[in-house]
Chain A
Amino acid sequence: MEVTISTAELLTTDGIPLKQSLRKAERRNKLRAFLLVFPLLLFIIVTFVMPIGDMLLRSVDDSQINSVFPNTFEEYKNWDKGADELPPEEVYKSLFFELANGDKRQIGKALTRMNYAKSGWKSLIKKTTREIKKIVKKGEEPVSYKDTFIKINKFWGDPTYWYSFNQMVNDRSSIYYWNALDRTFDEDGDVVLQDEKRRMYIKTWLRTFKVSVYVTIFCLILGFPVAHLLANLPLRYSNLLMIFVLLPFWTSLLVRTTAWIVMLQQNGVINGILVWLGVISDDGRIQMVYNEAGTLIAMTQILLPFMILPLYSVMRVIPKSHMRAAQNLGAKPAMAFWRVYLPQTIPGISAGGLLVFVLAIGYFITPELVGGKDGKLIGSWIAYHLKTTLNWGLCAALGGILLGIMLIFYWLYNKIVGIDNIKLG
Chain B
Amino acid sequence: MNDISQSFVKFEKIDKSYDGEVLVVKNLNLDIAKGEFVTMLGPSGSGKTTTLMMLAGFETPTNGEIFLDTKPISKIPPYEREIGMVFQNYALFPHMTVAENLSFPLEVRKISKPDIKEKVQKALDMVELGNFGTRFPAQLSGGQQQRVALARALVFEPRLVLMDEPLGALDKNLREQMQYEIKHIHDRIGITVVYVTHDQSEALTMSNRIAVFNDGVVQQLSTPDILYEKPENSFVAKFIGENNTLNGVVREVNGSSCTVELDGGFGMVKALKINVNEVGEKTQLSIRPERVSIDKTTSDSNNFSGKIEELIYLGDHIRARLDVCGNNEFIVKVPNEGSFNHKEGDELKLSWNSEDVRALDL
Contact = CB atoms under 8 A, between A and B. Distances in A.
A325 B87 contact: yes
Interface in A299-331: 319, 321-322, 324-331
Nearest to A343: B95
A216 to B, nearest CB: 23
A339 B89 contact: no
Contact of A329 (B58, B94, B105): B105
25 contacts: A319-B89, A319-B91, A321-B87, A321-B89, A322-B93, A324-B56, A324-B78, A324-B87, A324-B91, A326-B93, A327-B78, A327-B79, A328-B56, A328-B57, A329-B84, A329-B108, A329-B156, A330-B79, A330-B105, A330-B156, A331-B79, A331-B108, A332-B79, A340-B104, A344-B93
B152 interface: yes
A335 interface: yes
B102 to A, nearest CB: 10
A314 to B, nearest CB: 12
Interface string B93-124: 11100000000110011000000000000000
Interface string A327-359: 111111101100110011000000000000000
B155 to A, nearest CB: 9
B83 interface: yes
B84 to A, nearest CB: 7
Contact of B93 (A324, A328, A335, A340): A340
B179 interface: no
A244 to B, nearest CB: 26
Contacts of A332: 79, 108
Contacts of B82: 330
Q: Is the interface of A mostly helix, strand, loop or mixed?
A: helix
Contacts of B108: 329-332, 335
B91 A325 contact: yes
Nearest to A325: B91
A326 to B, nearest CB: 7
Nearest to A329: B105
Nearest to B94: A344
Given A325-B85, A329-B108, A329-B156, 20 more contacts: A319-B89, A319-B91, A321-B89, A321-B91, A322-B93, A324-B78, A324-B87, A325-B87, A326-B93, A327-B78, A328-B56, A328-B79, A328-B85, A329-B79, A329-B104, A330-B80, A330-B156, A331-B105, A344-B93, A344-B94
Contacts of B85: 325, 328
Residue from B78, B80, B84 with most neighbouring chain A CB atoms (10 Å): B78
B104 A331 contact: yes
A326 B108 CA distance: 10
B31 to A, nearest CB: 23
Nearest to A324: B58
Contacts of A319: 89, 91
Nearest to A320: B91
Interface string B49-89: 00000001110000000000000000001111111110111
A-B pairs, 4 with minimum CB distance? A329-B105, A325-B91, A321-B91, A327-B78
Contact of A322 (B78, B91, B105, B156): B91
Contacts of B152: 329
A38 B253 CA distance: 86
Given A319-B91, A324-B87, A339-B104, A330 B56 contact: no
A344 B96 CA distance: 10
A332 B57 CA distance: 13
B57 to A, nearest CB: 8
Interface string A35-77: 0000000000000000000000000000000000000000000
The residue in A322, A324, A330, A333 that gathers the most chain B C-beta atoms within 10 A of its C-beta is A330
A328 B149 CA distance: 12
A37 B157 CA distance: 58
A344 B91 contact: no
A180 B108 CA distance: 53
A328 to B, nearest CB: 5
Contacts of A324: 56, 58, 78, 87, 91
A335 B95 CA distance: 15
A321 B108 CA distance: 18
Contacts of B95: 343-344
Nearest to A323: B91
A330 B89 contact: no
A344 B85 CA distance: 21
B269 to A, nearest CB: 50
A333 B58 CA distance: 12
A36 B109 CA distance: 58
Contacts of A328: 56-57, 78-79, 81, 83-85
Contacts of B91: 319, 321-322, 324-325
A350 to B, nearest CB: 14
Contacts of B81: 328
A329 B58 CA distance: 13
Interface in A95-145: none
A27 B181 CA distance: 51
A382 B57 CA distance: 60
A344 B81 CA distance: 26
A339 B104 CA distance: 9
A85 B108 CA distance: 80
A340 to B, nearest CB: 5
Contacts of A321: 87-89, 91
B322 to A, nearest CB: 47
B19 to A, nearest CB: 13
Contacts of B105: 329-331
B50 to A, nearest CB: 14
A335 B109 CA distance: 12
Most buried by A among B88, B91, B152: B91
Contacts of A325: 85, 87, 91, 93
Nearest to B85: A328
A330 to B, nearest CB: 5
A73 B150 CA distance: 82
A331 to B, nearest CB: 5
Contacts of A331: 79, 104-105, 108
A333 B79 CA distance: 8
A326 B77 CA distance: 13
Nearest to A322: B91
A339 B95 CA distance: 10
Interface string B144-174: 0000000010001000000000000000000
Of the candidates B77, B79, B80, B156, the one having the most CB atoms from chain A within 10 angstroms of its own CB is B79
A331 B87 CA distance: 16
A29 to B, nearest CB: 30
